[in-house]
Amino acid sequence: MVSQRGRRARVTPDADNAPTAEMPAVAATAEPEAVRAKSIPEAAVARLAVYLRVLSGLAEQGATTISSEELSQAAGVNSAKLRKDLSYLGSYGTRGVGYDVQVLVSQIERILGLTRKHKVAVVGIGNLGHALANYGGFPGRGFPVEALFDLDPDLVGVPVGGLLVSHLDEIPKVCAERQISIGVIATPPTAAQSVCDRLVAGGVQCILNFAPVVLQVPAHIEVRKVDLAVELQILSFHVARRADLAANGNGGGDGGPGGAENGSVNGHGNGMVVR
């Protein structure tokens, strides 16, 4: 077992920030998709997920095309960075027309691996686990919750969100049988590592960890950590900085599409702090 470091793609700063000009539409590159996906910086991947959310909403409203400026405003990122991000997909838009919404949705879904379903297991059916188990938005986005686990005898065998809660000891067996690919850990920190080990033994490839602890995992396992306390501390920093600026007679702030407050796409990886 080795420590999970929250691996990041190695790129120079210019690779993520250099502006690119909007170009006429071109055919998608023949580069193998796995290779192309591997070359995308992690920060850009987080922004692609934001673009997909915006574009999916526009598609539901009947929009067929969108300019880079319109999409960048809706996503809270500058248009040059957006065009750079979309160029990783081999998508450049058409001058004077913009991007085809449905084409972009398909391209981003393909790169993010959303063309197939990823079965999810939630471990720890407390308040957070209950909320995740009952959230109806996961299945429609390709993440059906297929298994629930807890240690509490009052919960084991009880249906939550239409699924029976299984015991923690059954994690390897159930995850293997149901082909679970993503495990969500919503347990106290003292139980998180043991739960993680069971998930890995059951063939789970990716783990979303809500427990405030660093997990030890094999090198091939991907871990994303959601640390709400850290996010609140970051927000506290911005509040304190604004108060200092106001006290010094400086009315400048951090708002706007390129500002530091848009941490979900510019600064803090879609609200997740990786450990």
- What pLDDT score does 88 carry? 85
How many domains is the chain partitioned into structurally?
Answer: 2
User: Which among 98, 117, 89 has a CA at the least distance from the CA of 25?
Assistant: 98
> Using an 8 Å Cβ cutoff, are 221 and 200 in contact?
yes
Q: How confident is the model at residue 58 (pLDDT cuts 50, 70, 90)?
A: confident
Indicate whether 150 and 220 sit together in one domain.
Answer: yes
Domain hosting 100: range is 42-111
Indicate whether 205 and 104 sit together in one domain.
Answer: no
Indicate whether 65 and 132 sit together in one domain.
Answer: no
Indicate whether 76 and 136 sit together in one domain.
Answer: no
> Using an 8 Å Cβ cutoff, are 45 and 112 in contact?
yes
Indicate whether 133 and 79 sit together in one domain.
Answer: no
> Does residue 25 lie in a domain region?
no
Pairwise pLDDT comparison (206 vs 9), residue with the higher score: 206
Domain harbouring 93, CATH code: 1.10.10.10
| CA–CA distances in Å: residue 136 to residues 133, 143, 165 | 8, 10, 18
Indicate whether 57 and 135 sit together in one domain.
Answer: no
> Using an 8 Å Cβ cutoff, are 214 and 189 in contact?
no
Q: Containing H/E element for 167?
A: strand 163-167
Extract the tokens encoding 232: 């609140």
Q: Is 126 annotated as a binding residue?
A: yes
> Does residue 34 lie in a domain region?
no
Q: Is 125 annotated as a binding residue?
A: yes
Q: Is 128 annotated as a binding residue?
A: yes
Indicate whether 66 and 127 sit together in one domain.
Answer: no
| Eight-state DSSP code of residue 226 | -
The span from the CA of 41 to the CA of 18, in Å, is 13
- What pLDDT score does 132 carry? 92
Indicate whether 190 and 91 sit together in one domain.
Answer: no
> Does residue 68 lie in a domain region?
yes
Q: How many CA atoms lie within 13 Å of 67's alpha carbon, on the beta-carbon side?
A: 8
> Using an 8 Å Cβ cutoff, are 196 and 210 in contact?
no
Residue 200 has pLDDT above 90, yes or no: yes
The span from the CA of 140 to the CA of 113, in Å, is 14
- What pLDDT score does 138 carry? 82
Residue 216: strand, helix, or coil: strand
The span from the CA of 222 to the CA of 82, in Å, is 26
> Does residue 172 lie in a domain region?
yes
Residue 40 has pLDDT above 90, yes or no: no
> Does residue 14 lie in a domain region?
no
- What pLDDT score does 100 carry? 85
> Does residue 89 lie in a domain region?
yes
Q: Is 127 annotated as a binding residue?
A: yes
Extract the tokens encoding 46: 């987080």
Indicate whether 158 and 135 sit together in one domain.
Answer: yes
> Does residue 31 lie in a domain region?
no
> Does residue 236 lie in a domain region?
no
Domain harbouring 203, CATH code: 3.40.50.720
- What pLDDT score does 142 carry? 79
Indicate whether 107 and 140 sit together in one domain.
Answer: no
Residue 96 has pLDDT above 90, yes or no: no
